[in-house]
Every structure is written in structure tokens, then in C-alpha cells.
Amino acid sequence: MKGLEYTLYLSTDDVRVAHHLAHILEQKGEGFIVARGQEAGPYTAVAVNVLDWRMFPLLRVLETIRAAARSFNVQVRRGDLGPAPLDAILEVAREVLLLDRPPVITGPDPGERPG
């Protein structure tokens, strides 16, 4: 099964919460999401395989988990994203910044030195 791999790390060590959040996400994912709760060092995580990011965008994954986690008094601490098409990242920027269309990506100014 190939898709975007997106892992969200939670502020709890209770793996049952991660399993429950994964189940909620799969239900809301309408067949475009495969998720599982797992242990992740001192915390837990929801490992997500987004089968079609156009049908269930990355920001929707994050917001679905955040909303469901609040009912357990849990927060999403951070995330990891596997290799992803530029269009998927631009879609997140478009949604977060409330843009009507994706931004134009430019390179650094010719006079700029890398940081």
C-alpha cells in the first residue's frame, strides 16, 4: 500500500489513546486513510498512510487528530512526513494561509547567501 506517510506524536504514553485516534481518523478518512496507534519512545504516535492526499489533505489529517485528541486532554506534539509531492505541501500552505490558489515558489535572491 503506497501513499504519504505522516506520523503524529502525542503528549501521552497511553497507547490506547493513539489506537482510538487512529480508529477515528480511519472512519473519517472514507477509505483514503490507513492509520494505527503505536508506541513511540516515552510517548505514543498515530502512524498515518494517506492513500490520496487530494481527497483527504494533510491538514485535514492533522486537524482531525487534534480535534479528537482534545477530548482526551492530549495534544499533538510534532509530526514527521515521509517523501511527499510538492503539490501536497503547497496545498497545506494554501489551506493554512487561506489562499485562493497555491503560492508561486521562487528560489533565493541572486545576492543572498545560503544561511
Q: What percentage of the chain's residues is helix, strand, coil (to nearest 5)?
A: 35, 25, 40
**For position 104, what pLDDT does the model report?**
84
Predicted TM-score (pTM) of this structure: 0.88
Q: What is the pLDDT of residue 106?
A: 86
Please tell me the predicted confidence (pLDDT) of residue 1: 54
Alpha-carbon distance of 96 to 41, in angstroms, equals 30
Per-residue pLDDT tens listing for the chain (115 residues):
578 999 999 999 999 999 999 999 999 999 999 999 999 999 999 999 999 999 999 999 999 999 999 999 999 999 999 999 999 999 999 999 999 988 888 887 766 666 5
Cα distance between residue 8 and residue 62, in whole Å: 8
Domains, the chain: 4-96 (3.30.70.670)
Looking at residue 115, its pLDDT comes to: 58
